[in-house]
Structure 1
Amino acid sequence: MTHKTKGIILRTVRYGETSLVVTMFTELFGVQSYMVNGVRTSKKSGLKAAMYQPGAILEMQVYHSEQKQMHRIKEADWAYLYQNILSDVIKNSIALYMMELLYKVLKQPEQNADLFYFCEDALIQLDAAPPHIAANFSLYFALHLAGFFGFRINDPEREGQAFLDLAEGAFTDHAPVHPYFLEGEYAQVTAELLKIMQPHELDQLKLNHVKRRDLLLKYQEYYALHIQDFGQMKTLAVLQELFN
């Protein structure tokens, strides 16, 4: 049976000489894997293969069975054709970071329409964002994505809470006894990021590359504390190089 659904490409792996195995976050079925045959056989099919880059948003007709772990795509086309993400090195690297993070936290193949629309909107807004907003986009996405998985950092309860306990996901008056916390300006910036509900508001943040890099490392630490077997993010090293 076929179904019409949108999907966001999380990961693409070559299979054989001409095929791909694509991991996708779909609007209807959550995270799913698809075998895509014959997409690397000629220049013409190379255009088709470009659709399956991480971050691409597709409109599809798919074959789906609850009894199968690998599915097939009957038809696919762009649901949104990017103007910048696939060609701009910085925006492409941020999109790859977003997709790797999403891939690491999506454990179950369950529909989550609110999360899907958040990710779809974030990618579209990243595509259109001016450079000073795009620079902080990975921070915004990492903090707000956590809320969909039950470990969003709580807003400060009052002024003057200078420490952010990453293990508890809460601001405090005193440094925790463990090393997993932010303090001072880094805690303050995180509190400001939590208040930002739309990416265009990111122009309020003035961060240099060192602070941005340090915060991303701490947010990776935060995810590792709350997601089992989270590990290290490969795309983080690329972002760090770009921020330098």
Structure 2
Amino acid sequence: MVHKTKGVVLRTVKFGETSIVVSVFTELFGLQSYLVNGIRQVSKKGTAKGAYFQPASLLELVVYKNEFKNLQRIKEYKWSYLYQHLFSDIFKNAVALFAIELLNKCLKEPEPNNELFYFIEDALLHLDEASPTVTANFPLFIALHLAVFFGFRINDEYTEAKHYLDLQEGVFTEEQPQHSYYLIDREAEAVSHILKVMQPSELEDVKLNQDMRRRILTALEGYYALHVPDFGTMRTLPVLREISN
């Protein structure tokens, strides 16, 4: 059957001489893989169709859906939204790629999740127009709020007494955890602040230096590794650290 759906591109792999296999998180079907033929050829107008399938691209798709096949096909595609800055701004692009890799590592089954799709779509739209401060804080926002959709959210109960964030349990506590997966004091308080942020524009009020952001992000990578099977390490995180110098 043929369906219309929006999708965000997660990953593209070359297939043969001119084709690709693209992983897309779709509004209707969740995670899907599509074979797109002839996409790596330059058209008569001199444009490369492959530009549509960059990670983080937001597309409107007309797709074939066969329940008995793992690899589907796309009938039509066009931009759902054409970014003004995200593909050309090096820092914003690095943040977007971080968000996409994190999402891709968490998605395990092709199950529909409309709320998650709308969260990612909205986040990327905000990132495209974000100020430098919002952009710098964006990876923390994504990492902390994405966890909610996969069942291991951090309960925001930070107080001056509960100044340890136990990343193994996902709770703030008064007692120092008996393991190394925790944040303390200012870093724990910063996590609490970002957990309260509902709209990315509010990240403008989160005042952190680059060293603190890096330490929290590294800790959150460990947090995901504790809660997502076969999570491994983030390939985009070292790039993000380097660019944010």
1:17 corresponds to which residue? 17
- Offset, 1:157: 5.9
Separation in structure 2 between the aligned mates of residue 22 and residue 115 of structure 1, nearest angstrom = 19
1:160 corresponds to which residue? 161
The one-letter amino acid of 1:142's match is A
1:4 corresponds to which residue? 4
Structural mapping, 1:179-194, within 5 Å? 179-194=180-195
2:91 corresponds to which residue? 90
Separation in structure 2 between the aligned mates of residue 162 and residue 183 of structure 1, nearest angstrom = 6
The count of aligned residue pairs is 244
Asked if 1 retains the 8 angstrom alpha-carbon contact of 2:8 and 2:26, the reply is yes
Q: TM-score, normalised by structure 1?
A: 0.98
* 1:201 maps onto 2:199 in alignment: no
1:39 corresponds to which residue? 39
1:48 corresponds to which residue? 49
Structural mapping, 1:129-144, within 5 Å? 129-144=130-145
Asked if 1 retains the 8 angstrom alpha-carbon contact of 2:41 and 2:49, the reply is no
Q: How many percent identity over aligned positions?
A: 55
Asked if 2 retains the 8 angstrom alpha-carbon contact of 1:39 and 1:46, the reply is no
- Offset, 1:98: 0.4
SS at match of 1:55: coil
SS at match of 1:176: coil
Separation in structure 2 between the aligned mates of residue 228 and residue 139 of structure 1, nearest angstrom = 21
2:241 corresponds to which residue? 240
1:29 corresponds to which residue? 29
Separation in structure 2 between the aligned mates of residue 139 and residue 182 of structure 1, nearest angstrom = 14
The one-letter amino acid of 2:20's match is L
Q: List alignment gaps of at least 5 residues for structure 2.
A: none
Separation in structure 2 between the aligned mates of residue 38 and residue 157 of structure 1, nearest angstrom = 53
1:122 corresponds to which residue? 123
SS at match of 1:190: helix
Separation in structure 2 between the aligned mates of residue 42 and residue 178 of structure 1, nearest angstrom = 54
* 1:69 maps onto 2:70 in alignment: yes
The one-letter amino acid of 1:87's match is S
SS at match of 1:58: strand
Deviations along 1:8-47, one digit per CA (max 9) or x if unpaired, are: 0011111122111100000000000001111112255753
- Offset, 1:149: 0.6
Q: TM-score, normalised by structure 2?
A: 0.97
Structural mapping, 1:104-115, within 5 Å? 104-115=105-116
Q: List alignment gaps of at least 5 residues for structure 1.
A: none
Separation in structure 2 between the aligned mates of residue 78 and residue 177 of structure 1, nearest angstrom = 50
Separation in structure 1 between the aligned mates of residue 137 and residue 230 of structure 2, nearest angstrom = 26
The one-letter amino acid of 1:208's match is N
SS at match of 2:69: coil
